[in-house]
C-alpha cells in the first residue's frame, strides 16, 4: 500500500540500549521530548533500527534520528542531514533488507516501498561509556542538554532544511 500523505509532521526516533550506560542517550532524549507534548510530534524509542520502521518514516514529513556516538575530536552534538541510501546505492553500511538498518537505508526503503521519503536529520550525541548499567557519563549528560536545545529549536519552527551541513561525524560505536 502506497502512502499518499504524511500523517504526522515530525517523528523523533531515539535508539540505543538503556542498560548500556551512554547508549541510553537516544531513549533519554525522546523521553524528555515526550514531556513537551507537541501535537505535531510523534516519538519512538527503539533498541535498534529495523526495516519495519519504513512505513512510519513514509508517514512523516520530518524525521530526527537521535543516537549516542563516540567521536574522534570535540565532544559536541553533531547535526547533519541524511540522504536515502539503500542496498542498490553505494554508501550504506547495512542493507535495508537485513534485521537491522541504518537511517539512510530506512529512508531508501520508505521511498521505494511507500513512495515517500521524509526530510531527515541525524543528531549524534557524544558518548564515552557503554558499560553495563543505567548510569550516564558527564559527557553524555552535557550532550543530552545540548541536543535537547537543538531539537527544541528544530521542532517548532521546522527550519531543518535551512541548517548548514556540519562536517560528517565519525560514529565509532
What is the average pLDDT across 120-140? Answer: 96
Distance CA 117, CA 119 (A): 7
* pLDDT at site 83: 85
* pLDDT at site 154: 79
What is the average pLDDT across 60-83? Answer: 90
What is the average pLDDT across 30-50? Answer: 94
| Closest to 11 in 3D by CA, of 33, 83, 28, 32 | 33
DSSP helix/strand/coil, 51: helix
Residue 36 predicted with pLDDT over 50: yes
Domain ranges of the chain: 8-162
Q: Sorting pLDDT into bands at 50, 70 and 90, what band is 49?
A: very high
Higher pLDDT, 60 or 160: 60
- Answer for the pair 109, 88: CB distance below 8 angstroms, yes or no: no
- Answer for the pair 15, 46: CB distance below 8 angstroms, yes or no: yes
- Residue that is written with C-alpha cell 539503500 in the block: 86
Q: Sorting pLDDT into bands at 50, 70 and 90, what band is 133?
A: very high
What is the average pLDDT across 90-109? Answer: 69
Record: fold of 8-162: Rossmann fold (3.40.50)
| Closest to 14 in 3D by CA, of 98, 113, 94, 127 | 127
Amino acid at each position: 500500500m502506497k502512502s499518499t500523505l504524511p500523517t504526522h509532521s515530525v517523528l523523533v526516533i531515539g535508539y540505543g540500549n538503556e542498560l548500556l550506560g551512554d547508549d541510553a542517550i537516544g531513549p533519554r532524549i525522546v523521553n524528555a521530548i515526550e514531556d513537551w507534548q507537541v501535537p505535531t510530534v510523534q516519538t519512538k524509542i527503539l533498541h535498534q533500527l529495523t526495516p519495519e520502521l519504513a512505513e512510519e518514516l513514509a508517514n512523516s514529513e520530518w524525521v530526527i534520528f537521535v543516537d549516542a556516538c563516540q567521536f574522534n575530536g570535540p565532544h559536541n552534538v553533531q547535526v547533519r542531514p541524511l540522504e536515502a541510501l539503500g542496498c542498490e546505492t553505494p554508501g550504506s553500511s547495512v542493507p535495508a533488507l537485513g534485521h537491522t538498518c541504518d537511517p539512510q537505508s530506512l529512508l531508501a526503503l520508505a521511498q521505494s516501498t511507500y513512495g515517500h521519503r521524509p526530510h531527515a536529520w541525524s543528531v549524534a550525541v557524544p558518548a564515552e561509556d557503554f558499560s553495563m548499567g543505567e548510569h550516564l557519563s558527564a559527557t553524555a549528560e552535557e550532550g543530552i542538554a545540548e541536543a535537547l536545545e537543538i531539537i527544541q529549536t528544530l521542532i517548532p519552527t521546522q527550519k531543518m532544511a535551512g541548517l548548514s551541513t556540519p562536517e560528517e561525524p565519525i560514529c565509532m560505536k
